[in-house]
Chains A and B, each alone.
Chain A
């Protein structure tokens, strides 16, 4: 058996694993110097397994059981600044409790890697998967990589170490997986050998670190009106550099594993007229719908955003150019009074000024782990077909109407009892 039983993995194997198991396995193979974590559902299953590796002596990681997520990330910040390869993991409300320290980690340019089991924020309290936790930190200077399934959660975590530590980047990285849907869903995962992972991530050799007594330094000095802004400008540049590094690392990982990764993953987009943009596990559901629609002759396509930070604006411009209608799916809501969610707002911004642009509309879906069915995704493509048809005659009106529509996909509207499979026709404010 693999590392699951505390043995080393000396040959590649395909195993049935949950996303949490695959993530703990990747952490074992990365073998970080320090892990500080606090349990929270659905992340618990990841750290619980890793802590067992520590107690069984399978890894020599220094494990710090802290009293909160604020402390978890603070301890990891200290460890990383001291020169250690450090990791933590969290979910939803725990992620929210880290918020202050997220900015410290990125501001000090510490290459921390953190699996995030996406969970809805309270209230009302809910333990299931949506993206409201991660989206709350989209301006915190962290690289954010979303996973579609357990295999990607495993692959992305291994790549994240190299991306974070690249000298031109040196940024912390979140690797997300939808809570329960991926963390507790059993799938087939190909696990690389320990030696392959170790070789891929390499040895961490920080340029400067606090425990280097030959070259003392201060981390965390006060930076006021005359210096804070320059440090943030450096951070912005690092995020630009990250685009190239993420692509390079995705290519290198492909050469190792046969699974190539980029900032986005286009699916049947070559001649697509109707496109959906989505992140996370729902991309898997949507691919099935695209295949069905293609079989019926509908020119449907899909763009999965794998990397949300840095935002793949140019990729989206290139991929969505030539489409007639685009529906953007958000597993979190900006509660903006009708402007839709963050992915919709930023995708619209990315396409600004594109010649002959598609009609775009947005859907908030799946909040609190609400099941998102192929029928719901199909209803989005039906909407897009209708929008494209109407836009032929009256583009200006249709495009403005669609952009501000603010759909909620899969919520019970008046007159819909039981499980809704279509979003309500009613728009915000129209009742």
Chain B
């Protein structure tokens, strides 16, 4: 049985053109890591985080707390945010140490 190539949760996946006889049984997605292909950040709260890397101390609290794995690291250094998956919840801004204050939530579309 051919399985859908990608998560079936996006409206724009080629896999959901398959006939019912070829789709994975019970709507299961028969592979891991498919959430990366679904751009959950297509809509947000209206705010987005921006980071001032000159202030960042790379304590990685934002990376630990982010519920959408939307903090991008290079090794152990924060390099920015994955806006394809960030929902704009603002937790990263809250957990960034007050004395550091590297992260700010700004209205959608405004670059930091």
* Interface stretch (choices B16-24, B43-51, B71-79, B97-105): B16-24
A201 to B84, CA, bound (A): 48
| CB within 8 Å for A221 and B20 given contacts A226-B11, A227-B8 | no
A230 to B34, CA, bound (A): 20
Of all chain B residues, which has the CB nearest A217?
B30
> Chain B residues with Cβ under 8 A from A228's Cβ?
27
A227 to B34, CA, bound (A): 16
Contact B31 A217 (CB under 8 A): yes
B25 interfacial contact with A, CB 8 Å: yes
Partner of B9 from the list A110, A217, A223, A230 (CB cut-off 8 Å) is A223
A106 to B60, CA, bound (A): 43
A208 to B7, CA, bound (A): 17
Of all chain A residues, which has the CB nearest B25?
A109
B7 to chain A, nearest CB (A): 6
A229 to chain B, nearest CB (A): 8
A234 to B18, CA, bound (A): 13
A219 interfacial contact with B, CB 8 Å: yes
Of all chain B residues, which has the CB nearest A233?
B20
B27 to chain A, nearest CB (A): 4
Contact A221 B25 (CB under 8 A): no
Contact A231 B27 (CB under 8 A): yes
Of all chain A residues, which has the CB nearest B3?
A217
Contact A221 B8 (CB under 8 A): yes
Contact A218 B34 (CB under 8 A): yes
> Chain B residues with Cβ under 8 A from A110's Cβ?
26
A215 interfacial contact with B, CB 8 Å: yes
A221 to B27, CA, bound (A): 7
Of all chain A residues, which has the CB nearest B22?
A230
A224 interfacial contact with B, CB 8 Å: yes
Contact A227 B23 (CB under 8 A): yes
| CB within 8 Å for A108 and B9 given contacts A216-B31, A217-B31, A230-B20 | no
Contact B7 A234 (CB under 8 A): no
| CB within 8 Å for A217 and B32 given contacts A226-B16, A227-B16 | yes
Contact B9 A221 (CB under 8 A): yes
A170 interfacial contact with B, CB 8 Å: yes
A237 to B25, CA, bound (A): 11
| CB within 8 Å for A234 and B31 given contacts A221-B7, A223-B9 | no
Contact A217 B20 (CB under 8 A): no
Partner of B26 from the list A226, A229, A234 (CB cut-off 8 Å) is A234
Give the contact-size bracket for chain A.
Answer: 20 to 34
A227 to B26, CA, bound (A): 11
A219 to B30, CA, bound (A): 8
Of all chain B residues, which has the CB nearest A222?
B9
A224 to B34, CA, bound (A): 17
B43 to chain A, nearest CB (A): 15
A111 to chain B, nearest CB (A): 11
> Chain A residues with Cβ under 8 A from B20's Cβ?
229-231, 233-234, 237
| CB within 8 Å for A217 and B29 given contacts A226-B11, A227-B16 | yes
Of all chain A residues, which has the CB nearest B32?
A216
A280 interfacial contact with B, CB 8 Å: no
Which residues of B (20-71) have their CB < 8 Å from a CB of A? 20-21, 23, 25-34
A107 interfacial contact with B, CB 8 Å: yes
B108 to chain A, nearest CB (A): 24
A233 to B25, CA, bound (A): 10
> Chain A residues with Cβ under 8 A from B33's Cβ?
216
Contact A108 B28 (CB under 8 A): yes
A7 to B23, CA, bound (A): 46
> Chain B residues with Cβ under 8 A from A107's Cβ?
26-27
| CB within 8 Å for A217 and B28 given contacts A226-B16, A227-B16, A234-B20 | yes
A370 to chain B, nearest CB (A): 40
Interface pairs A-B: 4 shortest CB-CB: A216-B32, A230-B20, A109-B26, A218-B29
A-B contact pairs, 27 of them (CB 8 A): A107-B27, A108-B26, A109-B25, A109-B26, A170-B26, A208-B28, A208-B30, A217-B28, A217-B31, A218-B29, A218-B32, A219-B26, A219-B28, A221-B8, A221-B28, A222-B9, A224-B9, A226-B16, A227-B23, A227-B27, A228-B27, A229-B20, A230-B20, A230-B23, A231-B26, A231-B27, A233-B20
